[in-house]
Amino acid sequence: MDACVAPDLSESPCDSSSAPAPGPGEPADKAGLSTDYLNHYSEVLMLIELAAFDETVVEELSHWRPIGYRDYFLRSPLRRAASAIAAYDALDAGPRTAFEQTIQALDKLAQGAILALQPPCHPQNVIVIGEVIGPGIRRLIDRAAAFLNSDGSAGCTADDDPQAFVDQVIA
């Protein structure tokens, strides 16, 4: 399976019975929201940055597709997938919407970089794409990670405007 493609539901369905309830004293990340989801974006960032040094990466990038938090864990073989979904479903609408807007901004930046890297792309442009869009993707991953690590209480707020951030990065 490609590293940058979401797991296939038919290969590894999420079995909620395999996700035991957290015991007393277990860390919150084991019972709550999970940053495992952000691996999908860290991998695409790594490949975008690697494209300047390995032109074969562009073909792999063309297979990358956005996937939402919930769908990612529905397709995930991770033991704690069901608890990650339950924690996500339990979020208030405001913080969840702010997180989803951050993810939409990540999707736009990643897809824009992937599109720009498709042939014919001048070798110098490949470097510029990684240097310009890469840091923006990294900042949004950090924002999403802060949200997930805080169980939805930090990192993404209704006051954030991820679209304005995307516009600023690509302007």
Work out whether the CA dihedral 51, 170, 119, 65 comes out positive or negative.
Answer: positive
Report residue 170's pLDDT band, with 50, 70 and 90 as the boundaries: low
Q: What is the pLDDT of residues 56-86, one digit of tens each?
A: 999 999 999 999 999 999 999 999 999 999 9
Distance from chain centroid for Cα 122: 28
The pLDDT value given to residue 109: 95
Question: Measured at the alpha carbon of residue 148, what is the angle toward residues 150 and 151, in degrees to the nearest 5?
Answer: 45
* pTM reported for the whole predicted model: 0.76
Structure tokens, 4: 């940058």
Rounded CA separation 2/59 (Å): 11
Rounded CA separation 16/11 (Å): 16
Q: What is the pLDDT of residues 1-41, one digit of tens each?
A: 444 444 443 333 333 333 344 444 444 444 599 999 999 99
CA–CA distance from 79 to each of 26, 52, 54, 72, 126 (Å)?
15, 36, 34, 13, 38
